[in-house]
Amino acid sequence: MLKTARIGTVAAGLALSLGTLTAPAFGDRPDTAPCATETTQVTRAEAQLAKVNAVFAKQQAKVKKAKKQVQQADTRAEKRKAVKKLKTAKQARTKVAKTKKAQVQRLAKAQARLAKCLANQPS
């Protein structure tokens, strides 16, 4: 008896919480402007690309600093430590470079979708 009451309570709570997540009616769509979805995708992709570019610049600076530390190292231990830091900095830069390349592709595709949408709009 207690187990079925808990299941019923959970089911009722789930139904109430999911009821608020249902999509609004077609006429109530907030993006009534033509190509609004594509425009927001382009805007978001550009903002994300700006963030990725900032991270990439930071990683480039870390690599440059690590190279300088390798050149300035006096002892073998310092040089070994500096080379290790340089290696990790280069790996991080490579990872961010791949992310940057992917984001550039996302932006290009979003811009293509927007251009296609705008071309299909009646004037």
Q: What is the pLDDT of residues 74-99, one digit of tens each?
A: 999 999 999 999 999 999 999 999 99
What's the average model confidence in pLDDT over 43-56? 96
Is-contact 104 21, C-beta < 8 A? no
pLDDT of residue 20: 47
Provide Rg for the chain, Cα atoms: 26
Q: Give this prediction's pTM.
A: 0.66
Give SS3 for 30: coil
Q: In whole numbers, what is the pLDDT of the chain averaged over residues?
A: 84
Q: What is the pLDDT of residues 93-111, one digit of tens each?
A: 999 999 999 999 999 999 9
Give SS3 for 32: coil
Contacts for 97-100 with beta carbons within 8 Å, 24 or more apart? 97/56, 99/52, 99/55, 100/49, 100/52, 100/53, 100/56
Inform me whether the pLDDT recorded for 22 exceeds 70. no
